[in-house]
Each structure stands twice: as structure tokens, then as C-alpha cells.
Amino acid sequence: MDKRKLIVLVLVLIAVVIQFFGPARTNPPIDDSKTIMADLQVPVEVMQILERSCFDCHSYATKWPWYSYIAPVSWLVVNDVNEGRRHLNFSAWTDYETKKKVKALDELCEEVEEGGMPLKPYLWMHSDARLSEQDVQTLCDWTKSAIATLRGTTPTNDEDEDEHEKDEYDY
């Protein structure tokens, strides 16, 4: 066998062998009582944007694309999804304390306004996930009212501190 054929054979073998390694794609079962919908009013138009552009990485309802089955690309995709879920998971929303929910919603609006989310590499493969200015507006209007709702029902420590500061100014 000449050297070139040997090199190709070795590369093919490596490509085959790496398919058996790397992190697993997961879709843990979704408990409806733990989702963001169970906790907050989520209008249909907001839900549609979240499902279209965010759920693949921020929920357990991930739709795994074909390239997520092929190493080494799969390693990057699975890693993004695991990281995304770790930072913000709409399917495990009720695990968060009120303070963390408020922070997450605040960051949600900030990320989409700055164009930080959805992640750029995701948009190369999912052009329909791109957010219009209207989408960003819809999301931020919703996060603001959701934060107000959360604060109204369960005041956060932050707010208590604000109250004290105000008191000091008043007197």
C-alpha cells in the first residue's frame, strides 16, 4: 500500500472512531409544572419567538439538527446546548428563586437587544431564528412586565435595598 492510501485510511479510521466519543445529546422529559409557562403569563407571540430562536439551547425541547450527529461538530453543538441550559432553562424555570428569575429576564432582554443571542454559529444554520427589531421589542416589553409581576408578588432583596435608599433620600 502506498503512503498516500495509508494516510487516507488512517484519517477515515479516525473519523469513524471519534463518532463513538463525545458528550451525549439529551432531551430530559419535560415536567409541565416546572416550565416558564407554569410560572408566568407568556403571550403566544412571545412563546413563538422563544420556541423558534431560543428553545434549542435553553430548554429540554431541543430539536437536534443532522450535523449534531456527526463528530466533531456534534461536540460543539452538544456543548452549546448544555451550556445554554445551564445558564437559562425554560423547562426547569421553577427551580429558580425569584431573584434569579428577575436577573434571567433582565439579561434576556439585554442579550437580544445587543444581538448576543441567539449565538452567531446557530444563526448560520438557522436563518429563521434571526430576530427582527419587532421580535426584540416584543421580548423586552414582555420581560419588563414579567419582572414587574415577579417583583409585585414576591419582592426581591434588591428592591428592599432600593426602598431603604429611597427612605434615606426622603428624610
Residues 127-166 that bind ligand HEC (CB under 6 A): 131
- In whole angstroms, the minimum distance from the beta carbon of 104 to ligand HEC comes to 6
* C-alpha 131, offset from chain centre: 14
Q: Which stretch binds ligand HEC (CB under 6 A): 19-27, 56-64, 94-102, 142-150?
A: 56-64
143 close to 106: Cβ distance less than 8 angstroms: yes
Task: Check residue 60 for interaction with ligand HEC (CB under 6 A).
Answer: no
- In whole angstroms, the minimum distance from the beta carbon of 108 to ligand HEC comes to 4
Task: Check residue 40 for interaction with ligand HEC (CB under 6 A).
Answer: no
Rounded to the nearest 5 degrees, what angle is found at the Cα of 98, between the Cα atoms of 33 and 92? Answer: 35
Q: Which residues of 73-94 are buried (b: 16+ CB within 10 A; e: fewer)?
A: ebeebbebbeebbeebbbbbbe
Total residues binding ligand HEC (CB under 6 A): 20
Report the residue from 42, 73, 92, 119 that binds ligand HEC according to the rule CB under 6 A. Answer: 119
Task: Check residue 111 for interaction with ligand HEC (CB under 6 A).
Answer: yes
Each as own residue / partner, the long-range contacts of residues 101-108 (CB below 8 Å, 24 or more positions apart, any chain) are 101/39, 101/150, 102/147, 102/150, 102/151, 102/156, 102/158, 105/143, 105/146, 105/147, 105/150, 106/143, 106/147, 108/139, 108/143
Task: Check residue 88 for interaction with ligand HEC (CB under 6 A).
Answer: yes
Task: Check residue 54 for interaction with ligand HEC (CB under 6 A).
Answer: yes
Which residues of the chain form contacts with ligand HEC (CB under 6 A)? 53-54, 56-58, 80, 83-84, 87-88, 104, 107-108, 111-112, 117-119, 122, 131
